[in-house]
Amino acid sequence: MAERRSKSNKKFMVLSALGIFMVVDSHTFTALNMFGDYIPYNSFFMPMFVFISGYFNKVDNSTKLLPYFGKKIKNLLVPFVGIAAIVYGLQQLTYVIKGVDTIPLSGWYLQYILQRVITVGAPFLIAEPMWFVISLFATLIVYAILKKFLYKIWNSYVMFVLFSALNVLVVYLAKTYDFETIEYFLVPLKVMFFLPFLELGVLYRNHLEKKHDSIPAGGKIGLMALMLIINAVRTMYLPIGYDLAFDALDELSGFTSPYLVTPLVSSLVGITFWLTLVTLIGKPVYESRFVNYMSCNTFWIMGLHVVFFNLLNCILLAIDEYVTPLLYFDVEYFQGSEWYYWEISPDFKLVYVFFGVIGPLFVKWIFDLICTPFYKLSGRKKKQQQPVQPVQPIQPMQPVQPMQPVQPMQPMQPGQPGNPAS
């Protein structure tokens, strides 16, 4: 997760930055709610992250699985553990400020964390959005194994249809069985749920992107309008409009629509709408260093934004206790919950959004400042440890052979062809 690099694919840079902004906005109960009344965030944004991963996925029959697995462990699981450690430390800090008991890393608590990771996917309630990292890792591993061994008969269109059928099956199982029944099957079920969106990313890169980009501006606006109309028509056949969305995807417990295909269709509509919008109007921010930094550090924002909501509440708590009482600030509710928001006005939600985005990026910036010298030192050591190739001795030049004397031309005899005298 390195992070200061400049992403070359600006379209997907903006798309991933928008996606993580939506995650933060949704957890403030939609401070901005960009087009959320028509395309709810929770109807597409997690599948959209998988779609983005699929776009950059290059697994084929030549992929060496063990190095590939090692790369994914390094890029996903190692940052997951590191961010979880930071979350734990900041969580205990908020407990001290709130005046509640801290939780030591005892044996039973470590067992509790492990159980949450292998079931829901998140180590702590305050870092619940981190469940996605475990699901994405498992999805990429399963996809790589399947494509490696089925590459000769692999057809992206056919596989997308098959994976879509698995997606519908998962929705059926989640609606049929309660959480306790499927708790230890959540990760494989979420893999099945996400596989069609991974394949969709591959399909888009290989077959659809050029066609999509070539659509004129008016056509792109028409395509976005079509997505809005599709959702408007769909809401006419749902008990409530928000049934387009599916909350609590970490537990697979938010499928409220009576139609099993709703999550799949909602995801395709949302991805198409926002991908088209970015293609249409995203260029003004393609060179934004801030958007690039957001896009490079989505996992940090995903893992830490709720922590910074709580740190903001700690500041409000201090103001309430030592400066002036804050109207409607519920101290007891905050002490008992890590998902409390001061509902003084809708406008104050923007402050939570600001803390949820800027706070994690600030922590990452500090982390980079601390670790960069070690990275440079490690890089120099690696260069020093590389064996120096011996210089090949220069071969002596071969002596130049003396030139043979040129033989004089024999005079042409009269009567020979080519003799002008003949």
Residue 60's alpha-carbon distances to 57, 143, 173, 194, in angstroms, are: 9, 10, 31, 19
In a domain, 385, yes or no: no
Degrees, nearest 5: CA angle 130-131-135:
125
Degrees, nearest 5: CA angle 358-6-380:
100
In a domain, 387, yes or no: no
293-303 residue pLDDT tens: 999 999 999 99
Tell me how far apart the alpha carbons of residues 66 and 83 are, in angstroms, rounded to a whole number.
Answer: 25
Provide the pLDDT confidence category of residue 402 given band limits of 50, 70 and 90. Answer: low
Provide the pLDDT confidence category of residue 151 given band limits of 50, 70 and 90. Answer: very high
157-179 residue pLDDT tens: 999 999 999 999 999 999 999 99
In a domain, 221, yes or no: yes
In a domain, 414, yes or no: no
Name residues whose C-beta falls within 8 Å of residue 32's C-beta, 6 or more positions apart in sequence: 25, 350, 353
Tell me how far apart the alpha carbons of residues 395 and 367 are, in angstroms, rounded to a whole number.
Answer: 53
In a domain, 273, yes or no: yes
In a domain, 365, yes or no: yes
30-87 residue pLDDT tens: 889 999 999 999 999 999 999 999 999 999 999 999 999 999 999 999 999 999 999 9
| Angle between helical axes of 289-296 and 10-26 (0-180°, round to 10) | 70
Identify the pLDDT of residue 203.
Answer: 98
Q: In terms of residue numbers, what domain contains 58?
A: 10-375
In a domain, 371, yes or no: yes
Identify the pLDDT of residue 323.
Answer: 96
Q: How many Cα atoms sit within 13 Å of 90 on the Cβ side?
A: 24
Mean pLDDT on 234-257: 93
| Number of domains within the chain | 1
